[in-house]
Amino acid sequence: MHRLLLLGYFWLLTASTVSSIFQRPTGSPAPPRLQYLLEPLHSTVHTQRGATATLPCVLRTLPRNYRVKWSKVEPANYRESIIIITNGLYHKNYGPLSPRVRLRHSHRYDASLTITDVALEDEGRYRCQLVNGLDDESVSLTLHLEGVVFPYQPSNGRYKFNYHEAKRACEQQDSRLATYQQLYKAWTEGLDWCNAGWILDGTVHYPIINSREPCGGRLLLPGVRTYGAKDKQKDRFDAFCFTSALQGQVYFIRGHLNFKEAGQACRNHGAAIAKVGQLYSAWKFSRLDRCDGGWLADGSVRYPITTPRERCGGLPDPGVRSFGFPSKEMRTYGTYCFVG
């Protein structure tokens, strides 16, 4: 009897706690309604690298004295970087985005931000803030790049990168460190990888579809497993890189080439030996499908498969397969070239 009473009390206490989390306290003010800015119909703008994207910000009326300030929230340090400030007549651009941004200004109430030649680092959250004395208000929008996440490790084995080395390694392969949102989306699309890797905010994760012993055990549910924030200088892991659409083409040259000959073969065609991110992009967006292993710029040998088949690795899922980092003197493979 006492046990039933105790369980009942625990249930009431738990229900009360959950209710207090999800209900706004009586008398607490509702979020202020926007007076001057229109709520955007869609808070996420989808685009690809190299495209032109516009983030909407429209005023319903013009205050007597006002400014509109656009800024970007940087995921690596959660700081806001100012992009542009306007008073409706004049504007000033700031920061590295300065050469590629302008106000759309299709009518006098339009303060929308247009970004040309969208780059990988442009993805993220933006804020359009109306500064009007005590009546400041803002809307937040997300610029989302369609792309692909891939795990990356160097030729000398796994868990060799500190954070800064991982960031540089991704950039050298025509990509950048993935955000958590990008990694999570890749997991929902089938990314299953047992090695932990850095992402852009300095935390470490690995995505698991099929729970298994070497990857946390069979009892843990599938998901994006996390090690949390780690020391960016001392701790060492792999990297999760993100890339988007190419402004160019990846193609294969058949042959029995060593690494040096592979690079020369691409240069003979007015191209460069492809980077890992470029091969992933061609696989994702151009559906490049070849059963031939080819050299890449980092000294690895890989091949892209969009239609899995028995004699192309035998794996049931599409993907970019890897032969690792063979000796650069081997004359066994062709090469993948990139021309912009």
Give first-to-last CA distance, the chain, whole Å. Answer: 77
The sign of the torsion formed by the CA atoms of 111, 103, 121, 147 equals positive
Mean pLDDT of the chain: 89
pLDDT at 32: 64
Cα Rg of the chain (Å, integer): 25
Banded model confidence at residue 34, pLDDT cuts 50, 70, 90? confident
Instruction: List the one residue out of 191, 184, 154 whose CA is nearest residue 172.
Output: 154
Banded model confidence at residue 11, pLDDT cuts 50, 70, 90? very low
C-alpha distances (whole Å) from 96 to each of 54, 63, 84, 92, 100 are 18, 30, 11, 13, 9
pLDDT at 295: 98
Tens-digit pLDDT profile for residues 144-163: 999 999 999 999 999 999 99
Instruction: List the one residue out of 214, 213, 218, 194 whose CA is nearest residue 205.
Output: 194
Q: Are strands 203-208 and 197-198 parallel, antiparallel or unpaired?
A: antiparallel
- The CATH topology of domain 245-339 is Mannose-Binding Protein A; Chain A (3.10.100)
Instruction: List the one residue out of 238, 73, 74, 246 whose CA is nearest residue 147.
Output: 246
In the chain, which segments carry CATH 2.60.40.10?
37-145
Q: Which of 3-12, 224-233, 240-249 has the lowest mean pLDDT?
A: 3-12
In this predicted structure, the answer to whether residue 10 has a pLDDT above a threshold of 90 is no
Instruction: Name the superfamily (CATH) of residues 147-243.
Output: Mannose-Binding Protein A, subunit A (3.10.100.10)
Structure tokens belonging to residue 119? 């780059």
pLDDT at 220: 84
Whether 125 contacts 44, CB under 8 Å: no
pLDDT at 33: 77
Mean pLDDT across the stretch 243-252? 95
In the chain, which segments carry CATH 3.10.100.10?
147-243, 245-339
Banded model confidence at residue 26, pLDDT cuts 50, 70, 90? very low
Name the CATH code of domain 37-145 (choices 3.40.50.300, 3.40.50.2030, 2.60.40.10, 3.10.20.30): 2.60.40.10
Banded model confidence at residue 196, pLDDT cuts 50, 70, 90? very high
Q: How far is CA 301 from the centre of its chain?
A: 24
Banded model confidence at residue 284, pLDDT cuts 50, 70, 90? very high
% of residues, the chain, pLDDT over 90? 76
pLDDT at 298: 98
Instruction: List the one residue out of 244, 223, 233 whose CA is nearest residue 202.
Output: 233
- Residues paired with 59 in a beta bridge: 37
Cα–Cα distance for residue pair 212/194, rounded to 1 Å: 9
Q: Which of 1-10, 80-89, 106-115, 260-269 has the lowest mean pLDDT?
A: 1-10
Banded model confidence at residue 129, pLDDT cuts 50, 70, 90? very high
Structure tokens belonging to residue 303? 């091949």
Whether 273 contacts 262, CB under 8 Å: yes
Instruction: List the one residue out of 285, 243, 33 whose CA is nearest residue 149.
Output: 243
Cα–Cα distance for residue pair 259/332, rounded to 1 Å: 10
Banded model confidence at residue 132, pLDDT cuts 50, 70, 90? confident
**Please, what is the Cα angle at 267 between 301 and 279, to 5 degrees?**
35
